């Protein structure tokens, strides 16, 4: 069986480093917001070329905290894409704001920037740019739109750790930007975790309070915050993982190139030339998607759909029910994701390619 992800393999390949980090924390007697978190924040900020990083409890919290740090909440509208992990929407609602979604481009699954401005109203306060599958949105275009309308740009980098736009890392363009360290992400922890990055000192200081029930000094509360802290164990393990993020993304990149040059029956998404993807997911299209996935399952290859239902069709999303999102609708009917991670062996990728290329219509 070729698994969709293989976390055990990553752990056993690097066991001594993880054990050392874990033991250091267990022996330290300090488990929440300590030296490991501070060091990870410094190291991740340096990696991104962004001034500040604040460790938090999850990617969803990171997004909600981005909005809170910008003073965006009740009565405000936040524009984002119709195709994302539902967490993006949940975070907007957690902050008390109203999500407004925009259709995608069918060739890459990213927000269609030409359809954003028709959604901007007097209540619009921010755009959340989701760098889906590890490919950056057009941050140049988004920056211009945000400037013209005096609204905030926030990046959802949950899937894009290490991806670039132009000559900068994603997570260094918005006023505040969110990362997730959920285990499946390219920079994944051994549990939940997240971070906000910002170059803005006011936002940074606010975020330090917001993640820790609004306290600046212990027991002195300046604003209404939440409990969303990164713990020392996750931070120590993330420091180890950060050391291999670049190499891991490079390995993903060469496997993705092999897929692209070898697959004959499946259509990969378009790669944009304005940046470098981190190849978080390898998404392909096929008109007989369900049959293709069943065929691969029967040949011992796991696949998943990211995502089967666009935001506007979700039961939990009561808005925009009269609107049409033809690109997202069509996209979600055809896509699925092949296994792609650094621990995938050359033989496994060759086997996946052979099995895919042997698919015949009658297999459906
Ligand atoms: C994973 C993910 C999130 C949420 O992160 P959690 O750490 O699971 O809360 C948000 N947005 C996107 C695009 C994601 O992929």
Q: What is the mean pLDDT of the chain?
A: 97
* Residues forming a β-bridge with 336: 284
pLDDT at 303 over 90: yes
Indicate if ligand 1 lies below 6 Å from the C-beta of 87. Answer: yes
What is the reported pLDDT for 360?
87
pLDDT, tens digit, 9 for 90 and up, residues 209-220 = 999 999 988 888
Indicate if ligand 1 lies below 6 Å from the C-beta of 160. Answer: no
Residue nearest to atom 2 of ligand 1 (CA): 158
Contact 135, 268 (CB under 8 A): no
pLDDT at 348 over 70: yes
What is the reported pLDDT for 362?
67
* Token pair recorded at residue 292: 């293709």
To test the pocket of ligand 1, the residue of 88, 174, 231 to mutate (highest count of ligand atoms within 8 Å of its CB) is 88
pLDDT, tens digit, 9 for 90 and up, residues 238-285 = 999 999 999 999 999 999 999 999 999 999 999 999 999 999 999 999
Indicate if ligand 1 lies below 6 Å from the C-beta of 57. Answer: no
Atom of ligand 1 nearest to the CA of 184: 1
- 3-class state of residue 10 by DSSP: helix
Atom of ligand 1 nearest to the CA of 130: 13
Residue nearest to atom 5 of ligand 1 (CA): 59
What is the reported pLDDT for 364?
62
Give the separation between CA 312 and CA 325, rounded to whole angstroms.
Answer: 8
* Token pair recorded at residue 359: 């698919």
DSSP state of 195: E
Kindly state the average pLDDT of the residues 281-306: 98
Contact 24, 236 (CB under 8 A): yes
CA of 296 relative to ligand 1 center, distance in Å:
27
Q: Is 99 left (phi over 0), alpha (psi -120 to 50) or beta?
A: beta
């Amino acid at each position: 069986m070729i698994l969709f992800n293989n976390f055990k393999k990553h752990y056993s390949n690097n066991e001594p480093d993880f054990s050392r980090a874990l033991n250091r924390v267990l022996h330290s007697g300090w488990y929440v917001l300590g030296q490991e978190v501070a060091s990870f924040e410094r190291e991740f900020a340096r990696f991104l070329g962004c001034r500040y990083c604040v460790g938090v409890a999850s990617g969803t919290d990171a997004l909600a905290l981005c909005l809170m740090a910008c003073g965006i909440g009740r009565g405000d509208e936040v524009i984002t894409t119709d195709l994302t992990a539902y967490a993006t929407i949940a975070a907007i609602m957690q902050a008390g704001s109203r999500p407004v979604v925009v259709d995608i481009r069918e060739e890459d699954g990213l927000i269609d920037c030409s359809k954003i401005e028709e959604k901007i109203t007097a209540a619009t306060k921010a755009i959340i740019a989701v760098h889906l599958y590890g490919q950056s949105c057009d941050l140049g275009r988004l920056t211009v739109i945000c400037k013209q309308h005096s609204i905030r740009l926030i990046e959802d980098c949950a899937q894009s750790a290490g991806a670039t736009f132009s000559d900068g890392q994603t997570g260094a363009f918005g006023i505040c930007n969110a990362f997730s360290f959920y285990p499946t992400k390219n920079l994944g922890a051994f549990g939940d975790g997240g971070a906000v990055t910002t170059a803005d000192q006011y936002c940074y200081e606010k975020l330090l309070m917001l993640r820790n029930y609004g306290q600046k000094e212990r027991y002195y509360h300046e604003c209404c915050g939440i409990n969303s802290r990164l713990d020392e164990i996750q931070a120590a393990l993330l420091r180890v993982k950060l050391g291999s993020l670049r190499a891991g993304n490079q390995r993903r990149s060469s496997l993705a190139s092999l897929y692209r040059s070898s697959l004959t029956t499946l259509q990969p998404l378009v790669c944009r030339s304005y940046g470098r993807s981190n190849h978080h997911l390898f998404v392909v299209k096929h008109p007989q998607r369900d049959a293709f996935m069943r065929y691969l399952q029967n040949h011992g290859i796991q696949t998943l759909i990211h995502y089967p239902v666009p935001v506007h069709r979700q039961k939990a999303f009561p808005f925009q029910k009269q609107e049409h999102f033809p690109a997202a609708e069509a996209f979600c009917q055809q896509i699925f994701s092949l296994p792609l991670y650094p621990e995938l062996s050359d033989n496994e990728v060759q086997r996946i390619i052979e099995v895919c290329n042997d698919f015949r219509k009658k297999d459906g």
